[in-house]
Amino acid sequence: MQQQQMQQQQQQQQQQQMQQQQQQQQMQQQQQQMQQQQQQMQQQQQQMQQQRQQHQMQQQQQQMQQQQQQQMQQQVKEVEKEMQEEAEGDQWRQKQKERERVFGDGDRRQLETKGDT
């Protein structure tokens, strides 16, 4: 009788131990699942950061391109302005020559004498 009881107790203990082991395994599995989820979340975050960085780089490139365009436009404007000023100067000199040819030096002398009086 006693032996039987002892055997039964032993069996019960063994069963309890097995149950405990199973519980531990389940807990470990849950932990693993949680870790996997965390890893997935981290990966998603990384992807988002990469996308942001790419977007920023694109924006920077666009800004650089715009700046270059603006600089070029500025240069073109400056060159055009210089050319216009030169042309205007030429026209003025041309007109001056024309006046001198028409009125001669006398015109200039008259102006000078008028200035004196």
**What pLDDT is attached to residue 111?**
58
Q: Are 110 and 100 in contact (CB under 8 A)?
A: no
- Per-residue pLDDT band at 109 (split at 50, 70, 90): low
Q: Is the per-residue pLDDT at 49 higher than 90?
A: yes
Q: Are 66 and 74 in contact (CB under 8 A)?
A: no
Q: What is the CA radius of gyration of the chain?
A: 49
The more confidently predicted of residues 102 and 49 is: 49
Q: Is the per-residue pLDDT at 33 higher than 80?
A: yes
What distance in Å separates the CA atoms of residue 87 and residue 95, rounded to the nearest whole number? Answer: 12
Q: Is the per-residue pLDDT at 107 higher than 60?
A: no
Token pair belonging to 13: 């203990």
**What pLDDT is attached to residue 24?**
92
What number of helices (H) and strands (E) belong to the chain? 1, 0
